[in-house]
Amino acid sequence: MNTNDSRQFDLHPVDQRRLASLCGQFDENLKHIERRLQVKVGRRGHHFRVEGETDHVAAAVEVIRHLYRETEATDDISPDTVHLFIRETGYERLPEDVPYDGAVTVIKTPKLQAKPRGANQQKYVHSIRSHDINFGIGPAGTGKTWLAVACAVEALKDEQVKRILLVRPAVEAGEKLGFLPGDLAQKVDPYLRPLYDALYEMLGFDQVTRLIEKSVIEIAPLAFMRGRTLNNSFIILDESQNTTREQMKMFLTRIGFGSTAVITGDTTQVDLPRGQNSGLIHAAGVLGKVSGIGFTRFEAKDVVRHPLVQRIVEAYDSFDDGGGSQS
């Protein structure tokens, strides 16, 4: 049976350049070791302290020492390199599901503090903070997208990620987007307006514009995700009910190290051509019981728009469940 342990050690020779390479920007490499080996790493200069289960502490110490040896030959310790050394220890863990304890959550962004309304929204934010991949499924007006953007802005502000990616399938334009004027961002703009509006509310127009110019915030159609690996990013796939099964699998396999993905959608509003199955509906069936992936399902009672919106959603649900007929 594993017991808790704590180990302190120094790295020699002392070289600030090599120490910076080892730790990564914003200590991202150390944070990755913490997450995947379930340990706590503290550092002051070249002095390190690792706490956790005995075997995992020993594995983390070995990884840190091994990475420091690598810095002798290179200034760039990539997430892939960190992952490889962690994998070789045999003690890698995915974050375990942490039950929601009922605590009230507040999301802090530069322009406002967002307080999720109701238990389901609170559980959703908890899930986003404790899982690398999250699904928010439910009707319009339940705060799925807005809360995801708020969590993304908070993560960027707190330097947990380097950038935010906003992704949406442009079904109406056939994913080609060729008939719309302008550059890529301008072509996709009409489909991402709700995400822009949320960003403006939380960061301000000028700040959002600057971050887009620096590629800290990136806007892209889903079709342009193919072939990419997205590390240290907060990725939001909105309107995911309009992805095909192949597109959803492609997107989910883009997720890299240090990234969080939130996939939102409403399975009652699929706009795909007749005969094509929704990637969101398929993913919910395939991944619903996979440990480490969070699912939050919203209902009509979670709608936070005009009171009539909730009644409209309930009326359509009742009609679809049994009841209605078309003349």
In-domain check, residue 314: no
In-domain check, residue 285: yes
206 and 291 in a single domain? The answer is yes
Q: Three-class SS of residue 123?
A: helix
Query: Phi and psi dihedrals of 293, rounded to 5?
Result: -110, 130
Q: What integer best gives the mean pLDDT of the chain? A: 86
Q: Which of 176, 198, 200, 197 is nearest to 188 (CA)?
A: 176
Query: CB of 290 within 8 A of CB of 96?
Result: no
Structure tokens at 252: 């989910």
CA distance 209 to 196: 10
114 and 171 in a single domain? The answer is yes
131 and 271 in a single domain? The answer is yes
Please report, for the domain that includes residue 33, its CATH number: 3.30.1370.10
C-alpha distance from residue 94 to each of 63, 132, 146, 161, 268 (Å)? 17, 9, 27, 18, 32
**Pairing of β 4-10 and β 47-53:** antiparallel
Where is pLDDT greater, at 300 or 205?
Answer: 205
In-domain check, residue 74: yes
In-domain check, residue 320: no
30 and 134 in a single domain? The answer is no
Please report, for the domain that includes residue 284, its CATH number: 3.40.50.300
Query: Phi and psi dihedrals of 127, rounded to 5?
Result: -65, -45
Structure tokens at 15: 């070289």
Q: Per mean pLDDT, which range of 16-20, 100-104, 158-162 is the poorest?
A: 100-104
**First and final CA of the chain: distance in angstroms?**
67
164 and 29 in a single domain? The answer is no
**Pairing of β 113-114 and β 107-108:** antiparallel
CA distance 261 to 242: 17
In-domain check, residue 252: yes
pTM of the complete model: 0.76
Q: Domain of 24?
A: 4-89
299 and 172 in a single domain? The answer is yes
In this prediction, residues 103-131 reach a mean pLDDT of 89
Where is pLDDT greater, at 129 or 171?
Answer: 129
Query: CB of 296 within 8 A of CB of 145?
Result: no
143 and 48 in a single domain? The answer is no
| Domain count for the chain | 2
CA distance 29 to 63: 11
224 and 80 in a single domain? The answer is no
CA distance 278 to 294: 19
Chain segment 140-181, per-residue pLDDT in tens: 888 999 999 999 999 999 888 889 999 988 765 444 545 555
126 and 252 in a single domain? The answer is yes
pLDDT at 20 over 80: yes
62 and 131 in a single domain? The answer is no
117 and 61 in a single domain? The answer is no
The confidence band for 127, taking pLDDT boundaries of 50, 70 and 90, is very high
In-domain check, residue 203: yes
Chain segment 189-222, per-residue pLDDT in tens: 666 778 888 999 999 999 999 999 999 999 888 8
> Which are the contacts of 5, defined by CB distance < 8 A and separation ≥ 6?
51, 52, 53, 54, 57, 58
**Pairing of β 293-297 and β 260-265:** unpaired
Q: Which of 50, 66, 35, 251 is nearest to 160 (CA)?
A: 35
In-domain check, residue 313: no
21 and 155 in a single domain? The answer is no
Query: Phi and psi dihedrals of 191, rounded to 5?
Result: -85, -15
Q: Which of 62, 85, 74, 73 is nearest to 11 (CA)?
A: 62
In-domain check, residue 95: no
Q: Which residue's entry shows tokens 């883009």?
A: 254
Element (H, E) at 51: strand 47-53
